[in-house]
Amino acid sequence: AFAWWPDLMAEHAETFFSLFAVDMDATVEAQPQDSWDNFPLFQLLNNYLRNDPYLCNGKFHKHIQEIFIPLVVRYIDLMESSIAQSIHKGFEQETWQPVKSITNNLPNVPLLKVPSLPLNLPQIPTFSAPSWMASLYDSTNGSATSEDLFWKLDALQMFVYDLHWPEPEFAQHLEQRLKLMASDMIEACVKSRTKIAFEAKLQKASKSTDFRIPPSICTMFNVLVDAKKQCTKLCVLDGGQEQQYHSKIDDLTEETFKEMISLLVSKLIAVLEGILSKLSRYDEGTLFSSILSFTVKTAAKYVDVPKPGMDLADTYISFVRQNQDILRDKVNEEVYIEKLFDQWYSSSMKVICVWLTDRLDLQLHIYQLKTLIRIVKKTYRDFRLQGVLEGTLNNKTYETIHNRLTVEEATASVTDGEELEGITMKDSDEEEG
């Protein structure tokens, strides 16, 4: 008799639930379209039934699944559309200013309130983000729209997860759809929004030594950092397809990082090219150089003629240092800062080496020599202080530059020794500033 008892109780419960289902179905049908007040009822019943070994996947349990499947699908459809629209509008108005805490930047989020979720989210209204959100996002410096996107995707996935859908096939379908949604939206955020905005911002930037990397550029880098971190949570599927969406976004962010770093380095190198262009005026045999030499020699017979100073070199070094400090302070991922600095240093040395190679048959003007020695030595030291490794610092390009400037210095010391004013390529020269 005791062996039959659970079966008898289960049968009794199913009979009771069959009577209850009549009123439940009528109540659900009476709810306005797109009303989500029924979900707490599903969660309450489902949590009870799925934990009862005799009622789990029983007649009534399957009945409530049939009733709520269309509601869940409809809700996800609307949420996907709502998130896409709000993100589209958000990026159109995005200022790319960094945000420290998402709790100060969240707009309306159309999510529903479920008792077991720590979210105050009634039917498509405004809300105050829960206290636990601050701890997750205090360290971020992404944009308001990107952080809003990541939060909404995470909250939607949490909601579906907390439904604990009992039927494995449909539960897997829901998970796969949400992971695909997250993958597509993060891809759009990275590729169609952040990268395009980055390119537009750089195109408008100055090519002079007055250029300072704006906070918005650093914010765009941080959006990619956040996207890379978030995709490990939002795009990873359980089971055999766990790498399908995650790998796609991971590869995309890596490729976008490389492209953005190259674009920024190109902008920074354009400033150095401007400096070298000014030095080209002093090339031996040019009209400017001839006029300058004649004027100086003639005037020197009567008055003390001021010689070109180190303003050009010092201005460039200040430009490099201040932009290094901005990147170090504003970009949150050390790995990408190191890659950027490596590429910046290597490209700088390459440009200087090409400039010198074009003048193999010319002796450098004393002003060209002094300026280049100052720039090369300070650049080497500053990037070493920023963590660029010895293998990169002492590459073949740098050795070529070092040898050429050392030879030019030796030649100049014989003919114009006093005009070098103590500026030398020797390692012992560690002038301040």
Considering its fold, how many domains does the chain have in total?
2
End position of a domain, from candidates 258, 293, 328: 258
Question: 429 in a domain, yes or no?
Answer: no
Residue 112 domain-assigned?
A: yes
**Domain containing 105: what range?**
5-258
Q: Is residue 86 part of a domain?
A: yes
Q: 431 in a domain, yes or no? A: no
- Which residues of the chain fall short of a pLDDT of 70? 1-10, 12-13, 100-140, 238-246, 286-309, 417-418, 428-433
Question: Do residues 69 and 206 both lie within one domain?
Answer: yes
Last residue of a domain, one of 258, 291, 312: 258
The reply to whether 428 falls in a domain is no
Q: How far apart are CA 65 and CA 81, in angstroms?
A: 24
Residue 292 shares a structural domain with residue 250: no
Tell the residue number behind the tokens 């309130």, with chain if given: 113
**Cβ contact 338:384 at 8 Å:** no
- The whole-number pLDDT of residue 20 equals 78
Does 133 fall in a domain? yes
Residue 306: the pLDDT is 44
Check whether residue 129 and residue 238 sit in a common domain: yes
**Looking at the structure, do residues 332 and 365 belong to the same domain, yes or no?**
yes
In a domain, 263, yes or no: no
**Which of 258, 293, 315 is the C-terminal boundary of a domain?**
258
401: DSSP letter: H
Same domain, 240 and 341: no
273 domain-assigned: no
Give yes or no: residues 210 and 326 share one domain: no
**Do 173 and 293 have their domain in common?**
no
- Regarding pTM above 0.75, the answer is yes
**Tens digit of each residue's pLDDT (9 = 90 or more) over 48-69:** 888 888 778 888 889 989 989 9
| pLDDT for the residue 21 | 78
Torsion over CA of 112, 113, 115 and 120, rounded to 10 degrees?
140
d(CA 263, CA 257): 10
| 323 and 249 housed in the same domain | no
pLDDT at 291: 56
Same domain for 253 and 293, yes or no, is no
- Specify whether 245 is located in the same domain as 308: no
The verdict on 180 and 36 lying in the same domain is yes
Are 328 and 337 in contact by the 8 Å Cβ rule? The answer is yes
Look at residue 346 in the predicted model and tell me its pLDDT: 98
Residues 95 and 230 reside in one and the same domain: yes
